[in-house]
Amino acid sequence: MIQFERVSKRYPNGREALTNVSFFVDRGELVFITGRSGAGKSTLLKLIALLERPTRGTVTVNGRSTGVLKTRHIPAFRRHIGVVFQDHKLLADRPVFDNVALPLVVAGAPLKEIDKRVRAALDQVGLLGKERLAPMELSVGEQQRVGIARAIVGKPPLIVADEPTGNLDPDLALEVMRLFKRFSEVGVTVLVATHDLHLVREFGSRELTLASGQLTGGAADPLPSLVASR
């Protein structure tokens, strides 16, 4: 599902955020990306969602090498990935409903379908009934959950979530992680960058650890050639 082969990422200012990173994530896995602030977690997720391109090495997502993907194919590629941003990136001038509906609107889904799916997604994050509110009228934790609802509304086969529980109290954080776990149990691949080691240990899922841009743990099974082409 996701394969990194000796991937390095250097930003234009010269900063090398990832160095020689290789790992493989199978379909339906729930994987936590951990590491200190600045270790490269967000950069790794951005390379998967094609928000950044690698400087060296190959990133393969869903059997497609992102390095050779033509710019005009990127929107279609992104439609298959639900992204939860670290700063949630909600549209401030649009109500919750519109924010969550966005991926479906972009994909041209019928209105009735949009209505049904948006409500289902809001229900899953415990925000049903808040559709008409503006993001500013919500708490930070609620805004974070709107971002999660938007990521899951299109039922993508892959979800990458950057600190999705950073602003949630422990109970809500656990709820959100359980939600991701349930997705992975039905075949959705989920990558979660998080500082919350308690939560990670609680779930006993696989953990990829970054330190100063290098993978220091969890990369076992490097590049199994049989599954690599999936």
Per-residue x/- marks for Mg ion, 38-67, CB under 5 A?
---xx-------------------------
User: Counting contacts by CB under 6 A, is residue 88 touching ligand ATP?
Assistant: no
In this structure, are strands 189-193 and 158-162 parallel, antiparallel, or unpaired? Answer: parallel
Residue 135 touches which member of Mg ion, ligand ATP, none, C-beta under 5-8 Å by kind: none
| Strands 56-61 vs 64-65: parallel, antiparallel or unpaired | antiparallel
Where does this chain touch ligand ATP (CB under 6 A) — which range of 12-20, 55-63, 66-74, 90-98? 12-20
Which range binds ligand ATP by CB under 6 A, 33-41, 132-140, 151-159, 176-184? 33-41
- Of the candidates 79, 72, 77, the one whose C-alpha atom is nearest the C-alpha of residue 105 is 79
Q: Which two tokens stand for residue 123?
A: 């229900």
Q: Which residues contact 11 (CB under 8 A, 6 or more apart)?
A: 17
C-alpha distances out from residue 140 to 147, 171, 210, Å: 11, 15, 27
DSSP letter at 136 equals G
Residue 165 binds Mg ion (CB under 5 A): no
Q: Is 160 exposed, middle or buried (0-12, 13-18, 19+ CB in 10 A)?
A: buried
Stretch that binds ligand ATP, among 22-30, 35-43, 66-74, 146-154 (CB under 6 A): 35-43
**39-47, 57-65, 106-114, 182-190 -> range binding ligand ATP (CB under 6 A):** 39-47
Query: In sequence order, what are the beta bridge partners of 33?
Result: 193, 208
Q: SS in 3 state form for 6-31?
A: EEEEECCCCCEEEEEEEEEECCCCEE
Residue 38 contacts which entry, ligand ATP, Mg ion, none (Cβ below 5-8 A, type-dependent): ligand ATP
Identify which of residues 43 and 99 has a Cβ nearer to Mg ion in the complex.
43
| CA 222 to the chain's CA centroid | 22
**Interface with ligand ATP (CB under 6 A), residue from 42, 99, 143, 209:** 42
Nearer Cβ to ligand ATP (104/208): 208
Could you say which of 3, 19, 34, 43 contacts ligand ATP (CB under 6 A)? 43
Residue 11 interacts with ligand ATP (CB under 6 A): yes or no: yes
The strand ranges marked E within the chain are 2-10, 16-25, 30-34, 56-61, 64-65, 81-84, 158-162, 189-193, 206-211, 214-217
Q: In this chain, which of 1, 21, 24, 35 binds ligand ATP, going by CB under 6 A?
A: 35
Q: Which does 225 bind (CB under 5 to 8 A by kind): ligand ATP, Mg ion, none?
A: none
The residues that touch Mg ion, with contacts defined as CB under 5 A, are: 41-42
The residues that touch ligand ATP, with contacts defined as CB under 6 A, are: 11, 13, 15, 17, 35, 37-43, 86
